[in-house]
Amino acid sequence: MYWKLSILSVFMLVSIFSGACQSKGKNAAKASVQYPIEHIQCYVRFVESKKEIQSEVSFTMKDSTLGVAAYPKKFFFNEQAMAVKNLPKLGLIFRHVHEPTVYNPPYYFHYTELDSSIIKDSINMPKLNNLMVKGNQMSLSKGATLAWDNQLTLMTNDVLRILIIDSKGENYTINHAGATLAGELGISFEQLPNLAKGKATLIISQARSVLGEKISKKIEFYYKEIETEIVD
Q: How many residues does the chain have?
A: 232
Q: pTM surpassing 0.85?
A: no
E strand segments, the chain: 37-47, 52-61, 76-77, 80-81, 83-87, 91-98, 107-112, 118-123, 132-133, 137-139, 144-147, 158-165, 171-177, 184-187, 198-210, 215-222, 226-231
| pLDDT tens digits, 18-47 | 444 444 444 444 455 889 999 999 999 999
Percent of the chain's residues with pLDDT above 90: 74
Average pLDDT estimate for 10-17: 40
Indicate whether 54 belongs to any domain. Answer: yes
Decide which of 70, 91, 123 is a domain's last residue. 123
Q: Which of 72, 104, 123 represents a domain boundary (last residue)? A: 123
Q: Please indicate, yes or no, whether residues 60 and 81 belong to a single structural domain of this protein.
A: yes
- Whether the predicted pLDDT of 131 surpasses 70: yes
Domain of residue 138, residue span? 132-216+223-231
pLDDT tens digits for range 48-58: 999 999 999 99
Based on the domain organization, do 59 and 109 belong to the same domain? yes
Look at residues 84, 100, 123 and tell me which one is the last residue of a structural domain.
123
Q: CATH number for the domain including 50? A: 2.60.40
Amino acid at 41: Q
Residues 145 and 119 in one domain: no
67 shares a domain with 43: yes
User: Is 80 inside a domain boundary?
Assistant: yes
For the chain, how many structural domains are there in total?
Answer: 2
Does position 11 have pLDDT exceeding 70, yes or no?
no
- Quote the DSSP letter at residue 225: P
Domain match, 165 and 104 both: no
Q: Is residue 23 part of a domain?
A: no
Segment 102-128 shows an average pLDDT of 96
Q: In this predicted structure, what is the pLDDT of residue 226?
A: 98
For 231, phi then psi, to 5°, come to: -125, 175
